[in-house]
Amino acid sequence: MVIKGSSRGQTKSNTRELANHLLSSENEKVRVLQLDGVSSDNLHDGLEEMRLLSLGSRTRKCLYHSSINITAEEAKDMTDERWLEAVSELETELGLTGHQKAIVIHNKKGREHCHIVWNRVHPETLKATSMSWNYRKHEEVSRRMEERWSLTPVMGVHTRPEDEDRPIAKATHQDWQSASRTGVTIEEIQVILRECWEQSDCGVSFIQACHTHRITVCNGKRGIIVVDWMGTPHSISRRLKKKAAEVKTKLADINISDLPSVEAVQSAIRTGNPSSNKNTEVNNMTIEDKQKLRGIRPTKKTKGKQPTPEERLKHWVELGFSGEIGKGAIWIHFSNNISFKDTGDRIEIYGPPTDEAIQCMLDAARMHGWEAIEFFGDEDFKSRACRLASLMEPPLPVVGYELPEHLKKTLDIPNDTTKPEPGTAPEQVPTNTLR
């Protein structure tokens, strides 16, 4: 059993993104197993209720999001009662008994796992529970559950036997997510970097060797790192499985101030800058690729003067993102592997369209003054985008696409509210999620 967790939920946007993630259609099945201590009957409103309660305290990150994972084979024997038992055990260990919580069960690729969101702020005392030493607490609960249910034991850093070496993860969770989104595997980068390392005898030759493989050596927050051709940063010592001191010694001849920043390299990749030494997706787009673009465009704008590029960029900055104004469009950096191209009459997404990214496009469209929108792209993208647009408050009218019947039934949306006539807006419907 593996338990992970972290504090989050600083703003209304963070809370909404977490709810969207927990209800994401990327999962084959989603069940809200329990909403405890809140008056709302759906996840979005429940988490927002937790956040509003926390405003009476001094904490900035009021929500604690945790996940409980076991193997696919072991998950077949899990029942709702067992999930609740594991949650109760973890809740007691973390000191969150009596706090508001939401429990969501995911089934992804045939494996069931559990997500829990607690409000760190107690509803009566308005004091936030400290989450110090939470990693050790996660492992202690995991070991107890493994013994109780005869699950496959997992070696933990804090609960390992004294004679065992500290286990080192092959890659972080963020590394695995990046590899999944870009298709550039950790193993591929390891092979390339190992070859470059063995071919070079100093830092300068290492830079040149990396350059031939479309990898850029950069000035990172914690020293010298590399960025691959898709914009994902990598730790040299972690990928080469070498000590940081050894890497520092070999690269000692490099003047770190002469290296480009990670942000500059990622920006060049997003904008398809010809001066970049990488063949990016944006720069090498074929006609077939352009036909597969995903995004949104307005069918009706607000009357009067339309936002200038500077004003549109300001809207994105207010949403918490950075960007730059290019030729005919502005480019917005969302994550290492996702960016937006905003031309004023459409917003295109480059990279895997996660629910969080789609929601940001919809938020930007509303700030731009788009009163109704339509989508372009594949069926999966349109379905997810239309669902998220219907969940906005008030819902963002969508033209030319209708949600599948099973999603409208799940969201309690009447049949005539998701397909308005061009130039008209439908009646507002209540924002509901899974019941």
Q: Is the pLDDT of residue 399 over 90?
A: no
Cβ atoms of 349 and 181 closer than 8 Å: no
379 and 403 both lie in a single domain: yes
Evaluate the CA torsion angle 31, 33, 35, 40 in order and state its sign.
Answer: positive
Amino acid, single-letter form, for residue 34: Q
pLDDT at 173: 64
62 and 131 both lie in a single domain: yes
| Domain contains 425 | no
233-254 average pLDDT score: 90
291 and 264 both lie in a single domain: no
| Domain contains 380 | yes
Mean pLDDT of the chain: 81
Cβ atoms of 326 and 338 closer than 8 Å: no
133 and 178 both lie in a single domain: no
Burial of 14 by CB count in 10 Å (0-12 exposed, 13-18 middle, 19+ buried)?
middle
46 falls in which pLDDT band (50, 70, 90)? very high
Instruction: Give per-residue burial for 245-281: e unless 16+ CB within 10 Å, then b.
Output: eebeebbeebeeeebbebebbbbbbbbbbeebbbebb
258 falls in which pLDDT band (50, 70, 90)? confident
Q: Which two tokens stand for residue 234?
A: 């990598």
6 and 145 both lie in a single domain: yes
The residue count of the chain comes to 435
| Domain contains 433 | no
| Domain contains 109 | yes
For residues 44 and 319, give the distance between their C-alpha atoms in angstroms, rounded to a whole number: 19
pTM: 0.51
Work out the percent of the chain whose per-residue pLDDT is above 90: 30
pLDDT at 425: 43
Instruction: Give per-residue burial for 38-57: e unless 16+ CB within 10 Å, then b.
Output: beeebbbbbbbbbbebbeeb
Higher pLDDT, residue 274 or 135: 135
397-407 average pLDDT score: 72
Place of tokens 């706090």: 99
For residues 318 and 395, give the distance between their C-alpha atoms in angstroms, rounded to a whole number: 20
pLDDT at 236: 92
pLDDT at 114: 94
Burial of 10 by CB count in 10 Å (0-12 exposed, 13-18 middle, 19+ buried)?
middle
| Domain contains 164 | no
Which of 7, 64, 16, 43 has its CA nearest to residue 360?
Answer: 16
Q: What is the pLDDT of residues 309-348, one digit of tens each?
A: 888 888 998 888 877 776 678 888 777 567 888 988 899 9
For residues 194 and 257, give the distance between their C-alpha atoms in angstroms, rounded to a whole number: 25
- The sheet that has 294-301: what strands, in order across it? 322-326, 329-333, 339-342, 347-350, 294-301, 370-376
Q: Is the pLDDT of residue 270 over 50?
A: yes
**What's the structural domain count of the chain?**
3
| Domain contains 159 | no
Residue after which a domain boundary falls, among 212, 239, 271: 271
Cβ atoms of 218 and 224 closer than 8 Å: yes
150-154 average pLDDT score: 85
Q: Which two tokens stand for residue 254?
A: 């490099």
Place of tokens 């390891």: 190
Q: Is the pLDDT of residue 153 over 50?
A: yes
304 falls in which pLDDT band (50, 70, 90)? low
- The pairing of beta strand 339-342 with beta strand 347-350: antiparallel
Give the up-direction half-sphere exposure of residue 93: CA atoms within 13 A in the CB hemisphere.
22
| Domain contains 322 | yes
265-287 average pLDDT score: 52
pLDDT at 80: 92
Cβ atoms of 338 and 351 closer than 8 Å: yes
Q: Is the pLDDT of residue 254 over 70?
A: yes
Q: Which two tokens stand for residue 43?
A: 């996840």
Evaluate the CA torsion angle 355, 37, 88, 62 in order and state its sign.
Answer: positive
131 and 222 both lie in a single domain: no
Q: What is the pLDDT of residues 122-131, one digit of tens each?
A: 999 999 999 9
Q: Is the pLDDT of residue 398 over 60?
A: yes
63 and 130 both lie in a single domain: yes
20 and 143 both lie in a single domain: yes
Domain hosting 63: range is: 2-149
235-240 average pLDDT score: 89
63 and 201 both lie in a single domain: no
pLDDT at 36: 93
Q: Is the pLDDT of residue 268 over 90?
A: no
Place of tokens 């990622």: 266
Beta-carbon contacts of 298 under 8 Å, excluding residues fewer than 6 positions away, are 345, 365, 368, 370, 371, 372, 373
Helix axes 355-368, 309-318, angle to 10 degrees: 130
Q: Is the pLDDT of residue 409 over 50?
A: yes
| Domain contains 415 | no
pLDDT at 126: 92
| Domain of residue 344, CATH code | 3.30.310
74-102 average pLDDT score: 93
Cβ atoms of 76 and 113 closer than 8 Å: no
pLDDT at 185: 82
221 and 111 both lie in a single domain: no
129 and 12 both lie in a single domain: yes
**CA dist 256 → 129, 203, 221 (Å):** 41, 11, 11
Q: What is the pLDDT of residues 4-35, one digit of tens each?
A: 999 988 788 889 999 998 998 778 889 999 99
419 falls in which pLDDT band (50, 70, 90)? very low
pLDDT at 415: 55
246-267 average pLDDT score: 87
Backbone angles phi, psi at 164, to 5 degrees: -95, 140
Work out the percent of the chain whose per-residue pLDDT is above 70: 80
Which residue intervals of 32-172 are DSSP H helices? 43-54, 72-75, 80-94, 134-149
Q: Of all residues in the chain, what percent are helix, strand and coil, respectively (each to 5)?
A: 40, 20, 40
pLDDT at 251: 92
252 and 118 both lie in a single domain: no
